[in-house]
């Protein structure tokens, strides 16, 4: 899962891509000590994809074009 927050627009985004997971269907839940996060199949990333995104961010480069962003602000503020 990849997320980013636009502090200037007060928006929260979750990354997705065009190859949905065959292992994790829509609605699969990640459980943490602080709560649960329900993901869509296209929001699961492989470790190499996450590494590419992290290194791009860390080095001040554009994020990979294969990552699209879905606005999740309403989902996060509606509880």
Spell out the domain ranges in the chain.
3-77
Asked if residue 78 has pLDDT above 90, the reply is no
| Average pLDDT score over residue span 48-71 | 96
Asked if residue 79 has pLDDT above 60, the reply is no
Interatomic CA distance for residues 63 and 65, integer angstroms: 6
Asked if residue 32 has pLDDT above 70, the reply is yes
pLDDT of res. 34 = 87
Interatomic CA distance for residues 53 and 63, integer angstroms: 6
Instruction: Classify residue 64 by its DSSP letter.
Output: P
| Average pLDDT score over residue span 16-21 | 95
| Average pLDDT score over residue span 35-41 | 94
């Amino acid at each position: 899962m990849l997320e980013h927050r636009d502090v200037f627009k007060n928006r929260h985004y979750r990354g997705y891509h065009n190859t949905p997971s065959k292992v994790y269907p829509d609605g699969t839940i990640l459980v943490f000590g602080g709560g649960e996060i329900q993901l869509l199949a296209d929001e699961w990333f492989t470790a190499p994809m996450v590494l590419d995104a992290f290194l791009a961010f860390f080095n001040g480069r554009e994020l990979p074009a294969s990552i699209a962003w879905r606005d999740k602000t309403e989902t996060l503020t509606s509880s």
